[in-house]
Amino acid sequence: MTRYTRETALVILAAVVARLGFALYTGFTADDAYITFRFADNIARGLGFVYNEGQRVFGTTTPLFTLLMALAAFFRFPLPAAALVVSIAASAATAVVVYRFAVALRFRLLALVPVLCYLLWPRSLPGETSGMETAVFTLLVTSALYFRYRVYDYYAVGMATLATLTRPEGALVLLLVGIAMWRRFPRRWWHYGLVAVSLVGPWVVFAWVYFGSPLPHTISAKIALYSHFGTMPFFQSLEYLLALHSPFGWVLLAAAVGGAVWLYRSQRFGRLELLWLAAMFAFYLFSGSRLFFWYVVPIYPVYLLFAAAALVPLWNRLPANVQHASGVRVALAILILILLCAGAYRPAMYYREYQKSLESMHRQVGYFLYAEAKPEEVVAAEDIGYIGYYSQRTILDRDGLISPEAVPYNRAGTYLQFVLDYRPAWVVAADPSPTSPFLDREEFVAHYREVRSFSTGESSYRIFRRQPDPDTASIPPE
């Protein structure tokens, strides 16, 4: 067995252990993951690609991952477990791609450094074990860039196209890879176009016929929802994306710049990859939506590759006997492990506690509504993941992700008027919440009475039931 084969096997094993260990310790599954699970469950049950039965709304940004989960649901696999298995497998594959990338870029004895950083990166751990599509998207994007570098053109276009079907941001890497391929082989443009169209074309046709548009409704819904709160100023967003609130983020940025300079000077590598990173940052900075922690996760394999590259020219200046001394490399690995484990400790503790709050509030709200609300009754709710999945009731999404009728109200900031106009039988509201400032207002209290609340710490979810209107309450039933 060659060193390359042994290290590849080690990378796969380490990826599985790191991701599985974090998942088992925290138990974390994001609320948004359960939106995908409900779509997938409805597909498997033959109800269609819908969140609410009979309502064709393109309320997910990840059709490919949703279909994967629908396949798991069809074979009766528990969806949170299925999502975790798929995510861990994708993370292991990404680690292998990063390792092969480092080998191809002549990292030599340091080829495992970017892999080690990726496997234990504090933001990647929760993002890629959260039950969402993040790990799959990260794999597809990283693979597209790797195959483009190795001049496996059709694989590169294929991975970039699948990334587009996994998240809308994938269109950025598809565009950049397509331009790079066209510039290198201009006569083959229609070959690459045929690969992309054959993969994305069927979905575009289906979405246009089924939903009326191939663009996810969630994009406009999030822009409207966060037009009044939740977004950060430009420089604060940039600080968050690059982790510049920490000295370690500045060190990483400096290392990434230095590594990019070395890679370009020594191998003319990095222009496309840097363009992709810049495009991703620009998308998140100017999209007008709120930044969530899983948005930034897909940049890290490439970003960490650049940062690790800064060590290579320094390592190459060491005496040959020092470079090949196993003790020196082990010491470097241990140092990196200590730093990364220290950085991952607080996120692990945070998401462990956060999961407890999701289970004690969101999930319990879902169970309560399943028991108390009639199947035909409509529930207006925010954060509809756990609540919608476990209640199995028709949801009027106050955030607007699967309810287009909420979008103009959210854009105008008239959250109470939305409830009063649509008169749902139940209202679930987080307290405190920027979209629920009306819970004690006379117009709301006149129609809704609080029947239950679930709390943890300073946060709670309050459940209200609509009361009979005064002019109809006295009319006897027929």
The whole-number pLDDT of residue 477 equals 46
Pull the structure tokens for residue 367.
């169970």
Which residues are within 8 A (CB) of 24 and not within 5 positions of it... i.e. 6 or more apart?
A: none
CA dihedral over 201, 203, 206, 210, signed as positive or negative: negative
The whole-number pLDDT of residue 377 equals 97
Q: Smallest Cα–Cα separation from 139: which of 93, 198, 103, 181?
A: 93
How many residues does this entry show for the chain? Answer: 478
Q: Smallest Cα–Cα separation from 34: which of 350, 407, 392?
A: 392
CB 49 within 8 A of CB 39: yes
Q: Model confidence over 41-57: pLDDT tens digits?
A: 999 999 999 999 999 99
The percentage of the chain sitting over the pLDDT mark of 90, rounded to a whole number, equals 77
Helix 364-372 / helix 384-391 crossing angle, nearest 10 deg: 40
Phi-psi region for residue 246, left (φ > 0), alpha (ψ -120 to 50) or beta? beta
Q: Which of 181-185, 349-353, 451-455 has the lowest mean pLDDT?
A: 181-185
The one-letter amino acid at 243: A
What is the rounded distance in angstroms from the CA atom of residue 86 to the CA atom of residue 137? 11
The whole-number pLDDT of residue 349 equals 96
Longest C-alpha distance within the chain, in Å? 95
Top mean-pLDDT range of 175-189, 280-294, 449-463: 449-463
What is the rounded distance in angstroms from the CA atom of residue 472 to the CA atom of residue 466? 13
Q: Which of 2-11, 116-125, 198-207, 315-324 has the lowest mean pLDDT?
A: 315-324
Pull the structure tokens for residue 306.
């650049």
CA distance readout (Å), 465 to 146, 282, 360? 54, 43, 21
Instruction: Say what the alpha-carbon torsion angle 156, 39, 87, 193 is, to the nearest 10 degrees.
Output: 0
The whole-number pLDDT of residue 290 equals 82
| Chain position carrying tokens 């940052």 | 281
pLDDT greater than 60 at residue 164? yes
The whole-number pLDDT of residue 286 equals 84
Give phi and psi for 61, each to the nearest 5: -95, 5
Section 193-217 average pLDDT:
95
Q: How confident is the model at residue 24 (pLDDT cuts 50, 70, 90)?
A: very high
User: How many other C-beta atoms lie within 10 A of the C-beta of residue 24?
Assistant: 10
The whole-number pLDDT of residue 472 equals 54
What is the rounded distance in angstroms from the CA atom of residue 65 to the CA atom of residue 37? 10
Q: How confident is the model at residue 60 (pLDDT cuts 50, 70, 90)?
A: very high
Q: Model confidence over 445-475: pLDDT tens digits?
A: 999 999 999 999 888 999 999 998 766 544 4
Which stretches of 176-226 are assigned E, i.e. beta strand? none
pLDDT greater than 90 at residue 284? no
Q: Model confidence over 72-109: pLDDT tens digits?
A: 999 999 999 999 999 999 999 999 999 999 999 999 88
Q: Which of 145-149, 286-290, 337-341, 392-396 has the lowest mean pLDDT?
A: 286-290
What is the rounded distance in angstroms from the CA atom of residue 141 to the CA atom of residue 146? 9
The percentage of the chain sitting over the pLDDT mark of 70, rounded to a whole number, equals 98
pLDDT greater than 90 at residue 430? yes
CB 107 within 8 A of CB 271: no
Helix 153-166 / helix 189-210 crossing angle, nearest 10 deg: 20
Q: Smallest Cα–Cα separation from 309: which of 241, 239, 252?
A: 252
SS3 content of the chain, % helix, strand, coil (to 5): 65, 5, 25
